[in-house]
C-alpha cells in the first residue's frame, strides 16, 4: 500500500468542510490558549533579542516574527476546516493580550490577518493538502499579511526597499518557524496519539500500518 508523502498529506476532515464537531472547536480553542501563553513568553524574549546588534538593520526584525504565526498553521493543519486557522490564531492573540504585551489588543488585528494568510493557502488547495510544503507556504503567507499590516501601523516612514526587505524576512521566518516548525509539532503530537480524531493522527497510523 502506498502512503501520502510528507509534502502531499491529503486526509481531510470527516463530514462536510463546515461540519464542525465539538472536538474541533475544543481543540482549536485549546491550541489557541496554549499558543497564547507561548506568545506571551515570546513577547518578553522579543524585547531582549530585538535589541542585539545582529538586528541593527531594522527590517531584519521580521526574522523574529515566525513564532507569532505558528498558532494558525497548527490549527489549520490539525482541524482542517475553513476558519480553524483564523480562530486558533485570534484566540492565541487574545490570550496574549490578556496576559499583557507591548502592543495591547491591537494584536487581535495581527491574529486575524495572520490566520487569514494561512486560510488563503489552504483554501486555494480546497483544504485537501496539508503536507510540509503547504505548511511552509501557509506560514510564509501569514508573514506577508502581517508584514504589510506593520508597514502602515508601525513603520509608515519606511521606504519601499525597507518594506520589501521586512516582508522577505517575515515570510522566511513564517515559512521556517511557523511552517516547518508547525508541521514538525503536528507530526510529533500525532505520534503521541493526541490527534487520533484528526487527519494527522489517521495519517500517522496509515504510515505505520503493517
Q: What are the angstrom distances between the C-alpha of 171 and each of 15, 65, 123?
A: 33, 9, 19
pLDDT at 4: 44
Q: Are 194 and 86 in contact (CB under 8 A)?
A: no
pLDDT at 2: 35
Structural domains in the chain (count): 1
pLDDT digits (tens, 9 = 90+) for 154-186: 999 999 999 999 999 999 999 999 999 999 999
pLDDT at 1: 32
Q: Are 83 and 119 in contact (CB under 8 A)?
A: yes
Residue 10 domain flag? no
Helix or strand holding residue 2 (H, E): none
pTM of the full predicted structure?
0.91
Which residue, chain included where needed, has cell 509534502?
7
pLDDT at 53: 64
pLDDT at 174: 98
Q: What is the mean pLDDT of each run of 10 residues along the chain (210 residues)?
A: 51 79 97 97 89 83 96 98 98 96 93 98 96 98 98 95 98 98 98 96 87
Residue 11 domain flag? no
Q: Which domain holds residue 73?
A: 22-207
Residue 143 domain flag? yes
Amino acid at each position: 500500500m502506498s502512503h501520502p508523502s510528507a509534502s502531499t498529506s491529503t486526509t481531510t476532515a470527516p463530514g462536510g468542510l463546515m461540519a464542525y464537531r465539538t472536538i474541533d472547536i475544543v481543540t482549536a480553542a485549546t491550541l489557541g490558549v496554549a499558543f497564547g501563553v507561548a506568545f506571551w513568553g515570546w513577547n518578553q524574549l522579543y524585547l531582549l533579542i530585538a535589541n542585539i546588534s545582529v538586528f541593527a538593520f531594522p527590517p531584519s526584525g521580521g526574522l523574529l516574527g515566525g513564532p507569532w504565526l505558528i498558532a494558525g498553521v497548527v490549527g489549520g493543519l490539525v482541524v482542517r476546516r475553513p476558519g480553524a486557522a483564523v480562530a486558533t490564531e485570534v484566540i492565541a492573540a487574545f490570550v496574549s493580550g490578556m496576559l499583557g504585551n507591548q502592543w495591547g489588543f491591537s494584536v487581535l488585528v495581527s491574529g486575524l490577518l495572520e490566520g487569514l494568510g494561512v486560510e488563503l493557502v489552504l483554501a486555494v488547495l480546497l483544504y485537501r493538502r496539508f503536507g510540509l510544503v503547504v505548511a511552509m507556504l501557509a506560514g510564509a503567507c501569514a508573514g506577508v499579511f502581517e508584514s504589510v499590516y506593520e508597514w502602515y501601523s508601525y513603520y509608515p516612514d519606511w521606504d519601499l526597499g525597507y518594506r520589501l526587505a521586512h516582508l522577505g524576512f517575515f515570510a522566511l521566518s513564517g515559512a521556517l518557524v511557523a511552517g516547518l516548525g508547525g508541521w514538525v509539532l503536528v507530526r510529533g503530537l500525532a505520534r503521541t496519539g493526541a490527534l487520533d480524531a484528526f487527519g494527522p493522527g489517521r495519517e500517522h497510523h496509515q504510515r505505520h500500518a503493517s
